[in-house]
Chain A
Amino acid sequence: MSDILLLLIVLGITFMTGTIIEKKHFESIKKREIALIKKPIINFGAKTWHTNRKIRKIELVTGECVISGDYFKNFVAGLKNFFGGRLTTFESVLDRGRREAILRMREKARGANFIINTRIESVMINDTYGQESVPQCAIIAYGTAITYE
């Protein structure tokens, strides 16, 4: 009985903290995305950049983020996994991580006209053998920033 109670308490606490942290994070992401809306354009997959304008600077820009879900999300996903379908609790975690990594990359490229050929690389760094492991995802976003004269 006390085990169930403890589980419920842990679930309750992690649900609250997880929701608060996620909400704050999404707010900050949205704010920064709006601030950057007219800044460097991310152009996925452009291989060669054709231009007649003089180029001043070319550099590789990167953004990193390690994001983790919480205990509550993990628990819900565990239940949902049984029935199948979308694991929405993890979708939002990965969405946050990727957007954060892309934002950090764009923030490093302030002053650049374009970022081209953006790529996103991710890897799970948690203990995949553990029963109670909460997913942790390491994400690197990178691209080539081009600044005109």
Chain B
Amino acid sequence: MILTNIESVPGMVITAQFGLVTGSTVRAKNAIKDFGAGLKNMVGGELKSYTELLTEARKEAVSRMEQQAQRMGANAVINVRFATSSVTVGAAEVYAYGTAVKVAPKG
């Protein structure tokens, strides 16, 4: 599965277009990690456990989007975008969306 966030796949031509595919996930860490992050919050700096959470959430959203594209028979998703929103404290929603297409090598 080829993913790009531009309007085409360089070096390939689009042969079929299947429409929008999306994937979303809301994830949270356990209470202990939340507490740890709360302490880290006082002294400042990067909150590693939340970065991890964000990475996991992004991976899951992308894989859901890919699965949906696969079911449609696509082999690439173009114009992928991420949207995030804060649902509640210590949780992150990551929403990935793009257009599922079928691509073939040029020429």
Q: Give A93 to B41 CA distance when docked, in angstroms.
A: 12
Q: In the complex where A49-B6, A58-B2, A144-B6 touch, is A134 in contact with B42 (Cβ < 8 A)?
A: yes
Which A residues lie within 8 Å of B43 (CB)? Answer: 13-14, 17-18, 21, 70-71
Q: Give A24 to B50 CA distance when docked, in angstroms.
A: 20
**B-side interface size class:** 35 or more
Query: Considering residues A49, A66, A72, which has the most beta carbons from chain B within 10 angstroms of its beta carbon?
Result: A66
**Contact with A123, one of B8, B58, B86, B89 (Cβ below 8 angstroms):** B86
Tell me whether B5 and A144 are in contact (CB under 8 A): yes
Which B residues lie within 8 Å of A10 (CB)? Answer: 42
Q: Is the interface of B mostly helix, strand, loop or mixed?
A: mixed
Q: Which residues of A contact B (CB under 8 A)?
A: 10, 13-14, 17-18, 21-22, 25, 46-49, 51, 54-55, 58-60, 62, 64-73, 93, 97, 100, 116-117, 119, 121-128, 134, 136, 138, 140, 142-144, 146
Q: Which residues of B contact A (CB under 8 A)?
A: 2-11, 40-47, 50-51, 53-55, 58, 62, 80-86, 89-92, 94
Can you name 18 A-B pairs with beta carbons within 8 Å? A14-B43, A47-B7, A49-B10, A51-B11, A55-B10, A58-B4, A58-B10, A58-B11, A62-B58, A62-B82, A66-B51, A66-B54, A68-B46, A123-B84, A124-B86, A125-B89, A144-B4, A146-B10
Known: A51-B11, A62-B82; 8 extra A-B contacts, CB below 8 A, are A18-B43, A49-B6, A66-B47, A117-B5, A122-B84, A136-B41, A138-B54, A140-B58
